[in-house]
Structure 1
Amino acid sequence: MITNQTMTIIRKIVIAVLLLGAVACGNADKVPSNILSKEKMRDILLDMNMADAYSYDISPMRGVPLPDSMRQLKVKEYYRQILDLHHISVKEFMFSYRYYESHANRLKEVYDMMQASIAEERKALEGEDRRQQYADNPGSFFPYPKNTVISKKQDTIFPFLKRKH
């Protein structure tokens, strides 16, 4: 037999559970305060990806790849500089990165934000490049006339190929 006192305790427990559930659902998209925000993580990871890409192109003789051990040392140096620029310690970054790794949906959101940021930047750069090329030569037929190659073997035009200088 359930007494009034037991019923009151059960109601309080049910109300507490419902309140906790409502609070948890309201913060479902929020990142804890001790974790880097999605925007900050996006910016750091974008810089790190650029550092990785750049590390392949730092050979003094261009075209001759650096040995992997030297490239890894350079990447570590770049990462350290990136974290310093963002005023983040390695420990803080790794703690946040592990959090995002363990929450795949949030990590995916960060990567989606990275892709959107890159797409915006590419669009802006391509637009500026096109405007500059047209300003230099308004009568040009091709969108990128300076990058057009005319074959010497045939009279075919290959547009949009970058010339190697």
Structure 2
Amino acid sequence: MKKWSKTAGVLFIALCLAACGEADRTPSGVLGKDEMRDILLDMNYADVYAREQVPEGRSPADMNEATRDSAVKTFYAQILMLHNTNRETFMKSWQFYESHPDRLEAIYKEMGEIVKRKREVIDSTDKARMERELRKTGRTRMDSLFWPVPDSLKLNIF
């Protein structure tokens, strides 16, 4: 009896270790975390672009929901092609991650960090460009209260 309980204990520990090793793995046919993150990020960009895109000569009020939905569907199909996957694989992966909210939350956190880093780069680039433009015009501030150019401080009396 003692031998049986010792064997059962070893088997239990082995199963626990094997289960821990499988914790971060995804089933076959499901996109990996990084692939899913990249696809969802591109899809979010497509949603924003479709919402803000207005054809020339039209106002945003003229754009109806069906037109936007059609554009988004086209963008989604292109995104899946760019990531070398298909709708079925994406939907299976989405269902998997949706049923594992902790993994989906981790994906969305990574997406937020990526967007934040890109925004910081864009903001710093825009700020540097504005500063260069201000230097060209001789202004020393970016707001509406410009400090005078050093030459303008000289009094020009006849």
So what's the TM-score if we normalise by structure 2? 0.79
CA contact (8 A) 2:97 2:104 kept: yes
> Taking every aligned residue pair, what percent have the same amino acid on both sides?
32
Matching residue of 2:103? 106
2:121 is matched by which residue type in structure 1?
A
| Structure 2: stretches of 5+ with no match in the other structure | 146-158
**TM-score normalised by structure 1 residue count:** 0.76
Q: Whole-Å Cα distance in 1 between the matches of residues 140 and 27 of structure 2?
A: 54
Distance, in Å, in 1 between the alignment partners of 2:49 and 2:78 is 14
- Note if contact 1:56-1:65 (Cα within 8 Å) is conserved in structure 2: no
Structure 1: which 5+ runs fail to align?
Answer: 150-165
Map of 2:11 onto structure 1: 16
How far apart, in 2, do the equivalents of 1:106 and 1:30 lie? 11
Comparing 82-91 with 69-78, which one deviates more in the overlay?
A: 69-78
Q: How many Å separate the matches in 1 of 2:113 and 2:5?
A: 49
Q: 1:118 aligns with which of 115, 119, 135?
A: 115
Deviations 1:10-68 (A, max 9, x none): 43332222111112223423434532121111111111111111112233214325211
Aligned letter for 1:140? T
Query: What amino acid is the match of 1:25?
Result: C
The reply on whether 1:92 has 2:89 as its aligned counterpart is: yes
RMSD: 2.0
* Distance (whole Å) between structure 2 residues aligned to residue 52 and residue 111 of structure 1: 16
Moved more, 103-112 or 32-41: 32-41
Whether 2:28 is the aligned partner of 1:28: answer: no
In the TM superposition, residue 136 of structure 1 has moved relative to its aligned partner by: 1.6
